[in-house]
Structure 1
Amino acid sequence: MAGEGRGLVLVTGASGFVGKWTVIELLRAGFSVRGTVRSEAKAEQVRKAVTVEVGGDSLSRLSFAYVDLLADKGWPDAMRGVAAVMHVATVIRGDEPRDSSLVIRPAVEGTERVLRFARDAGITRIVMTSSIATVGYGHGQVSGKKVYDETFHTNLDGMKFTWAYCIGKTRAEQSAWSFCRANGIDLTTIHPGAIIGPALDDDASISIQMVTGLLDGTTPAMPSNGFAVVDVRDVAALHVAALLRPEAAGERYLATAEYVPFTGVGDVLREAYPQYEVTIRTVPDWLIGLLARFGGPARQIINDIGNEKHYDRTKSEALLGRPYRSGKEAILASAESALRLGLCKPKPKVAKA
């Protein structure tokens, strides 16, 4: 797929945070793109983002398919003429739903549907967005620092507390590798950490709330843990690199820059925005543990309380051909875009008498 006019790539979930940036990077690299969306309004969001980042001339290489991950209708037409598929679409929620199938079904059944129709269309190259949730859990780490690489696979049976996103992504990846090996499809999986960085519009990642929530006080107190973060622009660029480099077929790549605790995010924001009341309080670990027993948002972070999960970026940076942007740069890009787009409204710091 070298040179200009590289062919048509289908991007599922094109209107999402990662989806829009992936569309942009593919267009920059000379590909034509067909994005899957749920509505014309979502398609228009993508067009606006593309116009700002790449220019209006690129719209001639952008088209859309209106399909649903949980229905067969429209998928044969979506796959027609496609050279490769980037399966980016997923369901991410800030809460833990009582009905876990709301997250698990789109992850597992949606992936199986995309792969099945890709196979039927004769497509043999897939790049799929997975997660570190499929890598660093269920290995018995409850304290201390541990470094994970691409050889680790989450063990759902080894987890005391699971959450829907982790279950869905893990089962979806397992299903994808099994299906692709059985059907002669070259698969690459990309495993991002907490994806932050510049929002293009109000349809941004839930992960950005770890920045905006501290900046505007909607997160009144921080947990003690942190996450391996990554800039969305690097995640999108890694997807394109995986498509362009033949050696990426059959491989997993961890997409993480560095481990940043919530308190570190707060420190970056207080330094950059001294005029605002950035959250400074923390939540005791014992309270997170108690709340996790009843589900809710605490269930999504309980496995990261009291320990540090680091992810080796050597393999993915080699594929990318450069280092990832720093966590600080990604944090500041998140904050700048959120303020510019009105996604958060910080409280001015009140001068003490």
Structure 2
Amino acid sequence: MSDQGLILVTGATGFVGKWTVLELLRAGHRVRGTVRSLGRSEEVRATLLGELGQGPLDRLELVEADLLDDKGWAAAMQGVATVMHIATAIRADEPKDQSLVIRPALEGTQRVFRFANDAGIKRIIMTSSIATVGYGHGQTSGRRVYDETYFTNLDNMRWTWAYCIGKTKAEQFSWDFAKQHGIGLTTVHPGAIIGPALDKDASISLQLVSGLLNGSTPAMPSNGFSIIDVRDVAALHLAALDKPETVGQRYLATAEYVPFPEVGNILRAAHPEWNVTSKTVPDWIIKLIASFGGPARQIINDIGNEKVFDGSKGEKLLGRKFISAKDSILATADSVIRLGMVKQKTT
């Protein structure tokens, strides 16, 4: 590995951020991670210590910086060669006040890019989402395959949700800003991110699995989603860092498209001791509920159609296939059970 200089990772306490910091340290890089509160730094260090031992942690610095506050960002950027902007706000529900999600995504990205540019940083690798790719294209039924050439059209969507709005506007801003200021930008677009939790402070996306194990998901929608393992998301960030040809490119981080009921089938076969539901919710009920807002609003655009995201470009970058959806589901289940994140059911 050649010396890539100091790498700043925003959102070092997050699921993707923590895995990315881990893999950067494992690869020998010097890393500075941002946390919203330094009070969280010791738990991050403790988690990484358990995975890496003390030696690599000597190359890690954690600093306080909030996406919605200028304080701390100028200092965070000092001496940095590359920014990996991963931090964002993710919620399981659809808030009545959409700014709770949109502001960290859009204003946070604007703040990170502005301070990076002020510090003379010319390389940014950003975690985006499939939400910025496959929506607003008129698909209401059937199967359609999306690749990196698609950009979500918010103006053509009947149903928008806060995360989609925030991430789409953030990406639009990022490409415009990067072009204007000569910044080498790469964006990574994950699907539903699951995979092994490093500690109990993991993403709400793991509820796709843990909710079926603990019964908090009593019935499933029939639609599916493109799964990606968090380890592959981190690997794409490192691959972009090491390969200059990734500048100016978008990469979908998506393995197989998996219907939600198939997730249940995989879990029931591997963990018969858990009472995993096989019940599904009719599409018309989800559409009715979603019309009033709430969590169902986040999936209404996927009901009745099959959005497939072609991850072959990302696999080519890694030089291998992504971790399979089944292996990711099982790794997620094993970790949430081992860490006590789900309560044991009796049969």
**Bucket of the pairwise TM-score, normalised by the shorter protein:** over 0.9
Distance 1:36 1:306 in 2: 40
Aligned 8 A contact 1:6 1:30 in 2: no
Residue aligned with 1:90, SS: coil
Partners of 1:230 and 1:192 in 2: how far apart? 7
Alignment of 1:205-216 (within 5 A): 205-216=203-214
Query: 1:218-257: CA deviations, max 9, x gaps?
Result: 0011011111000000000100101110000000000001
SS at 2:252 equivalent? strand
Report the 3-state secondary structure (helix = DSSP H, G, I; strand = E; otherwise coil) of the residue aligned with 1:242. helix
- Structure 1 residue 49, shift from structure 2 partner: 2.1
Identify which of 335, 338, 343 aligns with 1:337: 335
**Inter-partner Cα distance in structure 2 for 1:155 and 1:45:** 40
Q: CA deviation at 1:38?
A: 1.3
Shift of 1:345: 1.3
Shift of 1:346: 3.8
Where do 1:249-268 residues align within 5 Å? 249-268=247-266
1:306 aligns with 2:281: no
Which residue pairs with 1:117 in the alignment? 115
Residue 48 of structure 2: aligned partner: 50
Alignment-derived partner of residue 227 in structure 2: 229
2 CA distance for matches of 1:309 and 1:348? 37
Task: Name the CA distance, whole Å, in 2 between partners of 1:139 and 1:169.
Answer: 17
Distance 2:23 2:337 in 1: 24
Equivalent of residue 146 in structure 2, options 122, 145, 148: 148
Instruction: State the distance in 1 between where 2:193 and 2:278 align.
Output: 22
Q: Which runs of 5+ in 1 are unaligned?
A: none
* Cα shift at 1:6: 3.4
Q: Give the Cα–Cα distance (whole angstroms) in 2 for the partners of residues 98 and 62 of structure 1.
A: 38
Range that drifts further, 38-47 or 329-338 = 38-47
Q: Is residue 2:156 matched to residue 1:173?
A: no
| One-letter amino acid of the structure 1 residue matched with residue 60 of structure 2 | L
Instruction: Give SS of 1:278's match.
Output: coil
Residue 171 of structure 1, CA deviation: 0.2
Please tell me whether residue 322 in structure 1 is matched to residue 320 in structure 2: yes
**Counterparts of 1:304 and 1:54 in 2: how far apart (Å)?**
40
1:297 aligns with 2:295: yes
Q: Which amino acid aligns with 1:309?
A: K
Q: CA offsets per residue over residues 95-153 of structure 1, 9 Å max, x none?
A: 00000000000100000000000001010000000000000011111111111000000
Please list, as runs of the form range in 1=range in 2, the aligned pairs for 1:263-274 lying within 5 A after superposition: 263-274=261-272
Alpha-carbon distance in 2 for matches of 1:192, 1:34:
23
Q: Which amino acid aligns with 2:173?
A: S
Q: Which residue of 1 aligns with 2:74?
A: 76
Q: In the alignment, is the contact (CA less than 8 A) between 2:218 and 2:279 conserved in 1?
A: yes
| One of 18, 23, 26 as aligned partner of 1:25 | 23
Q: Deviations over 1:145-177 (max 9, x none)?
A: 111000000011111100000000000000000
CA RMSD, aligned part only? 0.9
Matched, 1:204 2:202: yes
Other structure's SS at 2:227 match: strand
Give aligned-pair identity as a percent.
Answer: 67
Match of 1:129 in 2: 127
| CA deviation vs aligned residue, 1:192-239 (integer Å, no higher than 9, x gap) | 000000011122111110111111110011011111000000000100
- 1:249-298 Cα shifts (integer Å, max 9, x gaps): 00000000111111010000000011111111111111100011111000
Query: In structure 1, the residue corresponding to 2:126 is in which secondary structure?
Result: strand
Tell me how far apart the structure 2 counterparts of residues 166 and 86 of structure 1 sit (CA, whole Å).
Answer: 20
SS of the residue 1:288 aligns to: helix
The 2-side partners of 1:150 and 1:179 are apart by: 19
Which residue of 97, 103, 106 maps to 1:105? 103
Q: Distance in 2 between matches of 1:115 and 1:188?
A: 13
Distance in 1 of aligned mates of 2:197 and 2:39: 18
- Match for residue 187 of structure 2? 189
Distance (Å, rounded) in 2 between the aligned partners of 1:337 and 1:254: 25
Q: CA deviation at 1:41?
A: 3.1
Corresponding letter in the other structure for 1:27? L
Answer whether contact 2:192 2:205 (CA < 8 A) is retained.
Answer: yes
Q: Distance in 2 between matches of 1:323 and 1:42?
A: 34
User: Does the CA-based 8 Å contact 2:4-2:81 persist in structure 1?
Assistant: no
Tell me by how many angstroms 1:53 deviates.
1.9
Matching residue of 2:242: 244
Task: Please tell me whether residue 86 in structure 1 is matched to residue 46 in structure 2.
Answer: no
CA contact (8 A) 2:229 2:325 kept: yes
Inter-partner Cα distance in structure 2 for 1:152 and 1:52:
40
Structure 1 consecutive aligned stretches of length 4 or more whose deviation exceeds 2 Å: none
Q: 1:30 is matched by which residue type in structure 2?
A: G
Q: Distance in 2 between matches of 1:38 and 1:216?
A: 30
- Alpha carbons 1:277, 1:346 under 8 Å: kept: no
Choose from 59, 62, 67 the match for 2:60. Answer: 62
**3-state SS of paired residue (1:14):** coil
